[in-house]
Amino acid sequence: MKVTKAERGDWLRYRVLFTALMPLLAAYTAWQALQNRDGRYWRERFGRYRPGEPADVWLHAASVGEVHAAAPLVKHLSLQYPDQQLLVTTVTPSGARAVRDRLPASVRHAYLPLDRPRAVSAFLRRFRPRCGLIMETELWPCLFKACSEADIPLAIVNGRLSLRTLDAAAWFRRLYGQCLARTACVLARSESDRLNYIRLGARPETARNVGNIKFAALEPDRPITPIELGRPYAVAASTRDGEEKAVVRAWRNAGRDDHLLVIVPRHPKRLATILRDLKGSRLAVRSRGEKIGVDTEIYIADTFGELERFIAGAVLVFMGGSLVPKGGQNLLEPAAQGKAVIVGPHMENFQPETALLKEQEAVCQVASEGELAEAFRRLLQEPAIRQLMGEAARRTVQERRDIAERYLNELEACLPEVFRRQDSPYFERAT
């Protein structure tokens, strides 16, 4: 690929910027390694890998959310191509734990190196993958350039682009464009994301709207046991900083003392801040083992790994990160459980999913704290409306459960030199 003078300048800026940030990145990497007692994290983030067998298919999932989203596709790949050695990379120790807990035992894990030429080259020499599948929005210029030079085709899976990426400095967007020009295909989660990728530099003929793979990740591995609290309750799920106060005010204005409000914060370590914000409230804290009394109005569920069970037991769910400008949280999880869902105005990170569920009358989106109070009041008073919303939500999710198969079919068409099986609907096209 011919590089212009402007592009050389962009690369120089990127290298200088990354070099300037290296002391901070090194300190953060060391802190993470110590916190998680994971020496491998320190070594591999700097491109130092122990010898071993190469990998055939490499999938990169930045952290826990991407690993969970990729799990159905990984399982399909393992079943359809059992002879292909699959490597999954993450950039966080929590992502590594998710690989161990959620993916087949045959899947290997490594940490993706920092985006430095020597570290990236060491990674590619060590594993020598035949292709790379990049989940969602991981556009690393050095990595994409090295893969192109090594003839390792890349495909973006469940591609999404944030406004922050689209609004980046012009020279940064040009670097992203070079990344996308080097990809074999962009498989986007929505039509708007597909068009945004093209706007950023992807080739139109290689960009396709496949749908959100997170629909496929919603099939539980085991039955979900609802948490019973002795009273009917609504859940405010994955709330963010400053949001709890507004939700509690709306809840009180709804005037439903016969129900309990359960708050499951996105970051349980914020408990001290939450308690300060809700000072004077009649509440109990789960991590402290406090009991729910007859006069308790709020239950703070500041524990890990219990959100889906609280959702299962709730009569109604408000998805946090949406009443404050945080981009929202994944509303597909309560939708899959057939729950009536309320979201605030800030659902930028889940705009296509919100639009789809609104179209099916399966979600209630409010614009303010006052509207949230009215939504609480109306849905708690009208169980029939909650049931209709929940049924529409569950149906919408179930109709899209085959999305992982669609992604596999597209990959077989995009990368026939890697994925080739006789029963694929794309086999003739791939050959």
Distances (CA, A) of 45 to 65, 139, 321: 20, 17, 30
What confidence score (pLDDT) does residue 97 get?
94
Q: Which domains does the chain have, with CATH numbers?
A: 5-219+403-430 (3.40.50.11720), 233-398 (3.40.50.2000)
List, in order, residues 6 or more apart from 420 with CB less than 8 Å away.
Answer: 412, 427, 430, 431
First to last CA, the chain: 27
Q: Identify which of 57, 140, 157 has the alpha carbon closest to the alpha carbon of residue 106.
A: 57
- Distance (Å, whole) CA 66 – CA 103: 12
**pLDDT score, position 205:** 95
**More confident position, 10 or 430:** 10
Q: Which helix (H) or strand (E) holds 230?
A: none
List pLDDT tens digits, range 143-177: 999 999 999 999 999 999 887 888 889 999 999 99
C-alpha to C-alpha distance for 263 and 255, rounded to whole angstroms: 17
- Is pLDDT at 425 greater than 70 in this prediction? no
Residue 66 annotated in active site: yes
Which residue is catalytic, options 7, 53, 66, 428? 66
Does the pLDDT of residue 233 top 60, yes or no?
yes
In order, the DSSP letters of 78-130 are: HHH-TTSPEEEEESSHHHHHHHHHHS-TT-EEEEPPPS-HHHHHHHHHHH--S
pLDDT category at 426 given cuts 50, 70, 90 is very low
DSSP string, 182-204: T-SEEEESSHHHHHHHHHHT--G
Phi-psi region of 121 (alpha: psi -120 to 50; beta: other; left: phi over 0): alpha
- What integer pLDDT is reported at residue 424 of this predicted model? 47
The pLDDT, as a whole number, for residue 2 is 63
- Residue 380: its H or E element: helix 369-381
Q: What are the CA-CA distances from residue 423 to residues 76, 406, 409, 430 (Å)? A: 14, 14, 10, 12
pLDDT tens per residue, range 295-328:
999 999 999 889 999 999 999 999 999 999 999 9
Among 215, 173, 223, 170, residue whose Cα is nearest residue 197: 173
- In this prediction, residues 94-122 reach a mean pLDDT of 95
- pLDDT of amino acid 5: 77
pLDDT at residue 286 is higher than 70: yes
- Token look-up 């490499």 returns 58
CB 59 within 8 A of CB 38: no
- What's the average model confidence in pLDDT over 116-124? 97
Task: Please report the pLDDT score of residue 370 as a whole number.
Answer: 97
Answer whether residue 428 shows pLDDT above 60: no
Interval 356-378 mean pLDDT: 97
pTM (2 d.p.): 0.83
Mean per-residue pLDDT for 200-224? 88
Nearest CA-CA partner of 183 in 198, 161, 164: 198
Counting Cα atoms < 13 Å in the Cβ hemisphere of 365 gives: 19
Strand partners, 185: 155
- As a whole number, mean pLDDT of residues 72-85 equals 93
Mean pLDDT of the chain: 92
pLDDT at 431: 38
Residue 429 has pLDDT above 50, yes or no: no
Question: Which residues are CB-neighbours of 14 under 8 A, at least 6 positions away?
Answer: 141, 172, 175
Amino acid at the residue 315: V
Compute and round to an integer the Cα radius of gyration of the chain: 23
Cα–Cα distances in angstroms (integers) from residue 356 to residues 27, 94, 211, 352, in the given order = 42, 31, 11, 6
Residues 6+ apart with CB under 8 A from 57: 77, 81, 84, 85, 86, 87, 129, 130, 131, 133, 418
